Amino acid sequence: MMTLEQLRIFVAVADKEHVTQASRQLNLTQSATSAAIAALEARYNIKLFDRVGRGIALTQTGRTFLVEARAVLARAKAAEQSLQELAGLQRGTLAISASQTVGNYWLPPRLEKFQAAHPGIELHIRIANTETVARDVHEGRADLGFVEGEIDDPILSARKIAGDALIVVVGMTHPWAKKRRIAPAMLVETGWVLREPGSGTRSMFEAALKRYGLKLADLTIKLELPSNEALRSAVETGAHATAISDLVVAPSLAARTLHRVQIELPGRSFYVLHHKERHPSPAEQALLRAFDAT
C-alpha cells in the first residue's frame, strides 16, 4: 500500500530532480530514498523518473502523479493541523442538551465565560426536559447533558456539579401570601400549577411529597405547563401554588410579585451526563474543568 512517507520522498525527489539532494533534505540515506521510489514504480509497474545524463527527470506519468501527490500531502497536512487545533481548543464543536432550570438559569453565564476563553469552539444548545436530555446523551445527539436530579440509565455517567433549592411560591393574592410557614398537611388545601411529567422539577416535588406521606394524586392539579417561565407567570397572576427552583423565581421574589411559603423541601443537585462508552473530546474536558473551577 502506498504510504505518506513514499509520497513525501517522491515529491522531494521531483522538486530537486536529484536523489542525493532530496535525501539530504529529508535526512534520509540515499539508499532509503531510492528504495522508496523503486517500491512505488514496482508496485504499480510504472516509471516515474527517467535518467537524463547524470541526473533524473520526471516522466509524463511522474508529472501527472506529482499533482496528485502534492494534493494528498496537502490534505494530510491540513488533517494534522485540524487535529492540533482540536486538541489545542482552537476549534471544535460541542452539542449540549440541558433541562430547563439548568439550561435557562445556571448554564448560560458559565457557557458565555467558556466561549470567551475558547471562541473557536462552536456550541449547540438544546433545552428540553430531563428525560429528553438523558435520551439525547444516550442516543448520541448530545455530547453532554445537564439535568436536575439523578438519572437511572446504566449507560450514562452522572457527576454532581452544582444545585439549587426547590421552593413553594404563591401569588400575592393567594391566602398563603399572608402566611410565613405552612404545615405539610396544608399542601392539599390549594390548587397547583406544576411542570409536565418527565421534568426534574416535578420529580423532585413528588419525592418531597412522599416524605410527608403525600402523593401527587392527593393534590388538586389545575395546570401542567412545559416551561418554568410559564409556571412562574401563571402563579404570579393566578390563585394557585407551585413548586419551582429558587433560581427561576429569584427576580419575582425580589420584586414582591411572588411570595415564598416556608416549608421544608429538599435541596437538589445538578448533574452532568456523559455516555460511558464515548471518550470525551478535549472541548468537553475543558468545559468540565471550567465548571469545576467555579
Q: pLDDT tens across 75-88, in order?
A: 888 788 777 767 77
* Residues 213 and 156 reside in one and the same domain: no
Q: Which residue type sits at 200?
A: G
pLDDT value of position 40: 92
Percent of the chain with pLDDT over 90: 62
- Contact yes or no for 67/166 (Cβ under 8 A): no
pLDDT of amino acid 214: 95
Q: What pLDDT was estimated at residue 180? A: 83
Q: What residue type is 204 in one-letter code?
A: M
Greatest CA separation for the chain: 106
**Are residue 111 and residue 246 in the same domain, yes or no?**
no
Range of the domain at 126: 92-161+270-292
78: CATH:
1.10.10.10
The average confidence (pLDDT) of the chain is: 90
On the question of pLDDT at 64 being above 80, the answer is yes
Determine the pLDDT at residue 153: 92
On whether both 62 and 96 belong to a single domain, the answer is no
Q: Kindly state whether residues 168 and 112 are assigned to the same domain.
A: no
Could you tell me the three cell numbers for 96? 449540549
Spatial CA neighbour of 176 closest among 54, 118, 260:
260
pLDDT tens, position by position, 8-39: 999 999 998 989 999 999 999 999 999 999 99
| Domain's final residue, options 87, 103, 118 | 87
pLDDT of 294 over the 70 cut: no
User: What's 185's DSSP letter?
Assistant: G
Residue 293 has a pLDDT of 59
Element (H, E) at 289: helix 282-292
**Whole-number pLDDT of residue 177:** 92
31 DSSP assignment: H
Taking the model in full, what pTM does it have?
Answer: 0.66
d(CA 105, CA 99): 10
Q: Are residues 248 and 205 in the same domain?
A: yes
